[in-house]
């Protein structure tokens, strides 16, 4: 039980009840009776008064009823409410988790999701915190919904309805749960900037209330500031189990480009082993189901490491698929979280590339290219290449390889290049100083597609051109003397540049040279859309490079709501962040085409933290551990009691009236 | 607007004839009764009762030595012959009895069911009838009444009636009494005491609820030759108010002086009232005992026959 306006009701009671008693003494309606003498009565009354001043009050039922009636009305004015917590003055920030794990439908027996319960409970909390009933001014409440990125649903407001609307407007996502940015955002609003203050900005710490299942990836990394408090409202069932797809990949075998090999990893974050059936579908048609349930081992706790989920990797039998396709792998059956039970991949059609090699003095490179399954390979001299540039005939080649070619051009025309040796003429690559000698690899970006199956530990470079890198250049391999391999993205010009001649190193004798060259040609030739690059993560942006001349670009996410996009100067369109898993369709119109061209990007939920959906009973923030207050699906909101008090007062007044009538009639 | 919204105070119907005051059946039963005085008084004429005053009756009382001046007719010559000394024979002289009934006609008596005053009027009639029947000198006084115009009537008197034939006169006087005045007990007793004629029995019929107290008034008539009987009439409503509907929030109005008392009648107040009533009556009783006044509490709910034929005989007023 709590009270919204206890002071107001108390004041009214303090004034009205004594007034009633006084009025009762002063203006009590009495029946007049004639008697022989008042002498004895007066004396007896005086005796009674001397013994008990409030004797007649004690036995006067009508007065007692009237006082009770007034007390009920006074209590009604205090606006009592059924219990739910304490009122709090000052500022409160409601942090509502809207990540993927909050979509688990285990909030209650009716199958509501955790987010739905969190929103309902948060609204009840707002009503509890907010004293803005009939008379109060109310606490200030800020509502932040967070997953990958935070969103202030409403800044600090004393309007109860505004706060409730803000909570109701929170939409579920399939993103990760990161609270750090949300806390920074909240603290920005609690900082008071006073230009006259000598001591700098001041802060009025707010009470933080977290409505979550406790699976917040970066919560242990946070620290509460002085004066801040955090209350954890635990949502969801701590026993909910879940198995999810941890990764999905597909590739066309080198020697069988018409086939697709699909790899999938399944993880189990729960302490009990489980078995799942997996299904592979291509373009919506089921092509394969695991012949028997895949056993996924239980997760285990490793000291110093933490929870290591049980993992099982499966590869499906290669399927014939020359054309492009949408590969979808599903875990059959139900578990806690649905969004990680399906993962999709968009595979481009099988394609053989047309490659031009500029510089005929590289027999090693030439023989390597001749061994690759290319559509065509043609070798040009630098002068021939310059002529082709002037004639604008480069459109016929998917990839142009510049093998230490000394080009006499101001700048490279649009195209995709793989360059070895001296830097081609580009603004972003500016050679300086003397070449470095005896160079070893210091660091590599192993996640880059061109580095697949590439190990440069044994690479020794005799002479490395030193470069100052400009905009649009990212380093892939770095040495102690500067970048060795880099990617240049200058809009229509895209290039992988190797800052040394392979002949000045031992690279041609290493397997990594072959793999690197093949990866780079494939990467550049497919416009950077390598098979494994065709998926995104919830919360991240989605970017697609469109052909030159494309117009009217749009994106249609899984919910079907199409959104127009702006094509930037480099021909890219970006959209995001992606909120939900599933296939996102980008479409555009080419001049002269009657139909829209499309490209699909799959967004998959592979986050390990979100896969663990068992609700945490306590959370750690910094060195503190906070026990959660379990939020149950009560199905009831704050119950105002004042209408009941009013009804009781009315009923009491009827009883009082009947009694009064009977007394008057009897008198 | 009526003064009393819940109706007038309880009272009995006023009698219009002597028969309504005392019926013939009661009169026949009262014929055998006589008023008894605890004292023996001398009267104006020789009556039917003994007096302490020695005189010329036939009933011998005593001897005493002769002194000069004594009536020689009462010398017992036989004793003189035997003892050679003069003794006078002393006889008890028979005198008539003076019965004085004093009636309280104040407004406080005009209350109750039956009305205390109507009860007192019938009681006075019965006593007067007994007195007249037994050839006593019957006087009656009433105080606190009002005249036909509603003004205080002062002390109303009816003096020295004797003989049964005066019964109607007594009845007429009683019927004409109109209760409703203020408390004049003290003045009335003073007036009666100062105008006392002879000795006898005085019966004061009142509720004795006099705000000025009863002591002074009774003191006037006590010890002046009267054998005083104080008959305190209380109605059943006064004795047990709760049993007769006295409850709740009341504004009590004094019939005599319009004094008001706001009372919430509950158990404690009722208990206090009864205590005060007992105290008041006890005070009256103690006062009377100390002054040889016979005090009697009469519940007006009592039947008049029972009162006359039983209660008053046991208390020694009648025989």
Give the nearest chain A residue to B9 (CA atoms).
Answer: A34
Of B229, B96, B94, B102, give the one whose Cα is nearest residue B162: B96
* 0.80 surpassed by pTM: no
274-313 in B: which are within 8 Å (CB) of A? 275-277, 280
The whole-number average pLDDT for the span A3-31 is 76
pLDDT of A478 above 90 = yes
- Most B CBs within 10 Å, among A35, A42, A46, to test the B interface: A35
The token duo for A27 is: 């203006």
The whole-number average pLDDT for the span B208-219 is 89
pLDDT of A337 above 60 = yes
CA distance B66 to B76: 10
The 10s digit of each residue's pLDDT in B32-65 is 888 877 765 444 444 444 444 444 444 555 677 8
* Number of other CB atoms surrounding residue A638 within 10 Å: 19
The whole-number average pLDDT for the span A652-659 is 84
Of A189, A146, A190, give the one whose Cα is nearest residue A171: A146
Of A42, A49, A41, A131, give the one whose Cα is nearest residue A85: A131
Pick from A29, A34, A40: CB nearest B276 = A40
The winner for highest mean pLDDT among A92-101, A188-197, B30-39 is: A92-101
Structural domain boundaries of chain B? Answer: 18-41+104-314, 50-95
Asked if residues A116 and A132 have their Cβ atoms less than 8 Å apart, the reply is no
Residue B45: per-residue pLDDT: 44
Q: How confident is the model at residue A196 (pLDDT cuts 50, 70, 90)?
A: low
Cα Rg, chain A, nearest whole Å: 38
% of chain B surpassing 70 pLDDT? 85
CA distance A581 to A64: 67
- ipTM of this model? 0.78
Q: How confident is the model at residue B2 (pLDDT cuts 50, 70, 90)?
A: very low
Q: Which fold has domain A354-525?
A: Rossmann fold (3.40.50)
Query: Does A190 sit behind a cis peptide bond, omega within 30 degrees of 0 on the bond before it?
Result: no
Pick from B107, B249, B276: CB nearest A30 = B249
- Most B CBs within 10 Å, among A31, A41, A59, A660, to test the B interface: A41
**Interface residue B272 vs chain A (CB under 8 A):** yes
Backbone phi and psi for residue B85, each to the nearest 5 degrees, phi listed first: -135, 155
Backbone phi and psi for residue A83, each to the nearest 5 degrees, phi listed first: -55, 150
Q: What is the DSSP letter of B305?
A: H
Q: Which fold has domain A541-603?
A: Immunoglobulin-like (2.60.40)
* Number of other CB atoms surrounding residue A118 within 10 Å: 29
Structural domain boundaries of chain A? Answer: 2-82+642-666, 91-239+613-630, 244-349, 354-525, 541-603
The 10s digit of each residue's pLDDT in A42-77 is 877 765 555 544 555 555 777 788 888 888 888 888
Residue B207: per-residue pLDDT: 92
The answer to whether the CB atoms of A36 and B261 lie below 8 A apart is: no
The 10s digit of each residue's pLDDT in A502-547 is 989 999 999 999 999 999 998 888 654 444 445 788 888 888 878 7
CA distance A530 to A250: 10
Pick from A32, A35, A666: CB nearest B111 = A35
The token duo for A522 is: 């494939």
The answer to whether the CB atoms of A37 and B211 lie below 8 A apart is: yes
The whole-number average pLDDT for the span A629-656 is 75
Query: A552-586 as b/e, with b when 16 or more CB fall inside 10 Å?
Result: ebbbbbbeeeeeebebeeebbbebbbbbbbbbbbb
Asked whether this chain's domains A244-349 and A354-525 adopt the same fold, the reply is no
CA distance A217 to A215: 6
CB pairs under 8 A between A and B: 123
CA distance A60 to A43: 21
Please enumerate in sequence order all residues whose Cβ is within 8 A of that of A321, keeping only pairs 6 or more positions apart, or say none.
A258, A259, A260, A282, A347
pLDDT of A392 above 80 = no
To the nearest whole Å, the CA of A62 is away from the closest chain B CA by 11
Q: How confident is the model at residue B278 (pLDDT cuts 50, 70, 90)?
A: very high
Question: A91-239+613-630 architecture in CATH?
Answer: 3-Layer(aba) Sandwich (3.40)
A244-349: what CATH class?
mainly beta
To the nearest whole Å, the CA of B234 is away from the closest chain A CA by 10
Does the domain at B18-41+104-314 match CATH 3.40.50.410? Answer given as yes
- Degrees (nearest 5) of the Cα angle B67, B71, B73? 125
- Most A CBs within 10 Å, among B11, B248, B281, to test the A interface: B248
**Interface residue B259 vs chain A (CB under 8 A):** yes
CA distance B60 to B89: 7
Of B186, B225, B201, give the one whose Cα is nearest residue B101: B201
């Amino acid at each position: 039980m709590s009270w919204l306006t206890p002071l107001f009701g108390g004041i009214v009671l303090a004034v009205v009840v004594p007034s009633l008693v006084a009025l009762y003494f002063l203006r009590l309606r009495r029946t007049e009776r004639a008697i022989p003498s008042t002498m004895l009565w007066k004396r007896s009354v005086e005796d009674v008064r001397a013994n008990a001043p409030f004797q007649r009050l004690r036995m006067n039922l009508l007065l007692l009823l009237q006082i009770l009636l007034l007390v009920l009305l006074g209590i009604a004015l205090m606006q009592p409410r059924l219990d739910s917590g304490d009122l709090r003055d000052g500022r409160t920030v409601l942090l509502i988790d809207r990540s993927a794990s909050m979509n688990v439908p285990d909030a209650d027996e009716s199958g509501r999701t955790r987010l739905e319960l969190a929103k309902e409970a948060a609204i009840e909390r707002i009503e509890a915190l907010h004293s803005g009933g009939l008379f109060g001014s109310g606490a200030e409440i800020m509502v932040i919904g967070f997953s990958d990125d935070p969103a202030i649903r409403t800044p600090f407001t004393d309007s109860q309805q505004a706060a409730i609307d803000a909570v109701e407007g929170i939409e579920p996502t399939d993103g990760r749960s990161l609270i750090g940015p949300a806390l920074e955002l909240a603290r920005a609003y609690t900082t008071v900037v006073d230009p006259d203050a000598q001591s700098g900005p001041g802060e009025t710490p707010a009470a933080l209330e977290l409505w979550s299942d406790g699976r917040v990836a970066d919560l242990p990394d946070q620290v509460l500031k002085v004066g801040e408090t955090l209350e954890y409202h635990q949502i969801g069932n701590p026993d909910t189990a879940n198995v999810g797809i941890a990764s999905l990949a597909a590739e066309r075998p080198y020697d069988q480009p018409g086939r697709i090999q699909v790899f999938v990893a399944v993880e189990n974050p729960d302490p009990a082993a489980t078995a799942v059936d997996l299904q592979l579908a291509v373009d919506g048609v089921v092509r394969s189901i695991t012949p028997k349930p895949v056993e996924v081992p239980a997760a285990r706790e490793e000291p110093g490491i933490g929870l290591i989920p049980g993992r099982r990797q499966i590869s499906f039998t290669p399927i014939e698929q020359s054309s492009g396709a949408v590969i979808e792998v599903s875990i059959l059956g139900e578990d806690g979280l649905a969004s990680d039970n399906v993962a999709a991949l968009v595979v481009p059609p099988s394609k053989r590339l047309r490659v031009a090699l500029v510089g005929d003095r590289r027999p090693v490179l030439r023989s390597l290219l001749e061994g690759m399954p290319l559509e065509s390979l043609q070798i040009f001299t630098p002068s021939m290449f310059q002529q082709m540039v002037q004639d604008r005939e480069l459109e016929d080649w998917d990839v142009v390889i510049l093998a230490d070619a000394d080009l006499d051009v101001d700048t490279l025309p649009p195209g995709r290049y793989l360059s070895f040796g001296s830097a081609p003429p580009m603004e972003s690559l500016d050679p300086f100083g003397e070449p470095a000698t005896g160079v070893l690899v210091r660091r590599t970006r192993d996640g880059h597609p061109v580095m697949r199956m590439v190990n440069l530990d044994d690479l020794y470079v005799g002479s490395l051109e030193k470069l100052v890198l400009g905009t649009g250049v990212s380093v892939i391999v770095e040495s102690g003397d500067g970048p060795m391999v880099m990617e240049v993205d200058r809009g229509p010009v895209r290039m992988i540049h190797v800052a040394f001649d392979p002949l000045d190193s031992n690279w041609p004798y290493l397997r990594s040279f072959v793999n690197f060259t093949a990866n780079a040609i494939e990467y550049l030739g497919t416009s950077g859309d390598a098979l494994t690059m065709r998926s995104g993560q919830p919360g991240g942006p989605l970017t697609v490079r469109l052909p030159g001349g494309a117009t009217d670009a749009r994106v249609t996410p899984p919910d079907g709501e199409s959104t127009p996009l702006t094509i930037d100067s480099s021909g890219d369109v970006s959209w995001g962040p992606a909120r939900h898993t599933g296939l996102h369709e980008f479409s555009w119109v080419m001049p002269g085409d009657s139909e829209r061209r499309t490209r699909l990007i799959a967004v998959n939920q592979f986050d390990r933290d979100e896969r663990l959906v068992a609700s945490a009973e306590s959370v750690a923030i910094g060195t503190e551990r906070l026990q959660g207050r379990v939020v149950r699906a009560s199905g009831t909101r704050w119950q105002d009691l004042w209408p009941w008090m009013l009804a009781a007062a009315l009923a009491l007044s009827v009883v009082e009236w009947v009694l009064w009538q009977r007394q008057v009639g009897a008198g | 607007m009526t003064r009393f919204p819940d109706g007038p105070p309880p009272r009995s119907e006023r009698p219009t004839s002597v028969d309504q005051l005392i019926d013939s059946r009661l009169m026949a039963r009262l014929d055998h009764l006589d008023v008894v005085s605890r004292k023996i008084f001398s009267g104006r004429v020789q009556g039917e009762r003994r007096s302490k005053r020695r005189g010329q009756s036939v009933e011998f009382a005593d001897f005493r030595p002769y002194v000069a001046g004594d009536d020689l007719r009462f010398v017992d010559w036989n004793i003189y012959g035997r003892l050679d000394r003069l003794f006078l024979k002393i006889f008890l002289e028979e005198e008539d009895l003076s019965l004085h009934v004093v009636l309280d006609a104040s407004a406080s008596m005009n209350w109750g069911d039956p009305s205390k005053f109507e009860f007192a009027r019938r009681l006075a009639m019965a006593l007067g009838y007994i007195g007249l029947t037994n050839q006593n000198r019957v006087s009656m006084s009433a105080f606190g009444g009002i005249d036909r115009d509603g003004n205080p009537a002062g002390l109303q008197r009816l003096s020295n009636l004797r003989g049964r034939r005066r019964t109607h006169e007594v009845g007429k006087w009683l019927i004409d009494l109109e209760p409703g005045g203020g408390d004049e007990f003290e003045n009335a007793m003073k007036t009666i005491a100062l105008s006392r004629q002879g000795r006898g029995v005085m019966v004061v019929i009142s509720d004795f609820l006099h705000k000025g107290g009863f002591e002074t008034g009774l003191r006037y008539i006590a010890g002046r030759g009267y054998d005083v009987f104080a008959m305190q009439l209380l109605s059943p409503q006064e004795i047990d108010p709760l049993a007769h509907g006295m409850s709740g929030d009341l504004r009590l109005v004094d019939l005599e002086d319009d004094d008001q008392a706001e009372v919430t009648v509950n158990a404690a107040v009722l208990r206090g009232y009864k205590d005060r009533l007992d105290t008041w009556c006890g005070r009256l009783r103690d006062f009377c005992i100390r002054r040889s006044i016979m005090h009697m509490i009469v519940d007006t709910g009592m039947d008049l026959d029972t009162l006359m034929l039983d209660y008053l005989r046991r208390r020694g007023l009648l025989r």
